[in-house]
Amino acid sequence: MVADPARRDARPIVWMIGFLVVALVVYFVILGQRGFDLISSGTVAGVGVGIGVLILPFIGAWLIFATLRAGIEHQRLARIMADEGRELDVSELPRMRSGRIEREAADDLFAEVKQEWEADPSDWHNTYRIARAYDYAGDRSRARQMMKRAVAQYKGEE
């Protein structure tokens, strides 16, 4: 019996994300200490580099926060779509040996979903579906852009 990929156990992924976040926090603390050490050296170069080094943990923390927030929002929309039975059904589409959907089938799916989206682009459900179709078609940048838009529409920000 093959497990449904949509229902697989997420705990290993959550544990890995947790481990990576903790490792990055430790790294940021060490980086911050090095920045303070450089600043306390008193030299012009040390102070300049130290300030630059201190900025890096803040940028990293912001990136972690933004990435985790986006992932949680995307998962929320995916759960709602699955509960409503509106998630794209790709179970019958032909796949390559790697497991990816064959290009022609993904393009056909995209064309179908694009028509739905063009009929009502203000509905976050349609925007979510076209984001998923972009992803299946291999256009990751547009998929991210449309998923961001779907989240904004869901929150009533667009």
**Which range marks the domain in which residue 32 is found?**
10-84
Tell me if 135 sits within 8 A of 143, measured CB to CB.
Answer: yes
Report pLDDT digits (tens) over 2-23.
445 556 777 888 899 999 999 9
Model pTM? Answer: 0.75
Between the alpha carbon of residue 32 and those of residues 25, 51, 75, the distances in Å are 10, 9, 33
In whole angstroms, what is the distance from residue 6 CA to residue 77 CA? 14
* Residue 3 within any structural domain of the chain: no
Q: Which residues pair with 95 in a beta bridge?
A: 101
**How big is the CA angle at 70 (ends 23 and 130), to the nearest 5 degrees?**
140
Q: In this model, does residue 80 exceed pLDDT 70?
A: yes
What is the domain count for the chain? 2
Report pLDDT digits (tens) over 125-157.
999 999 999 998 888 999 999 999 999 999 987
The answer to whether residues 76 and 107 belong to one domain is: no
Average pLDDT value over all residues in the chain: 89
The answer to whether residues 16 and 49 belong to one domain is: yes
pLDDT of residue 7: 63
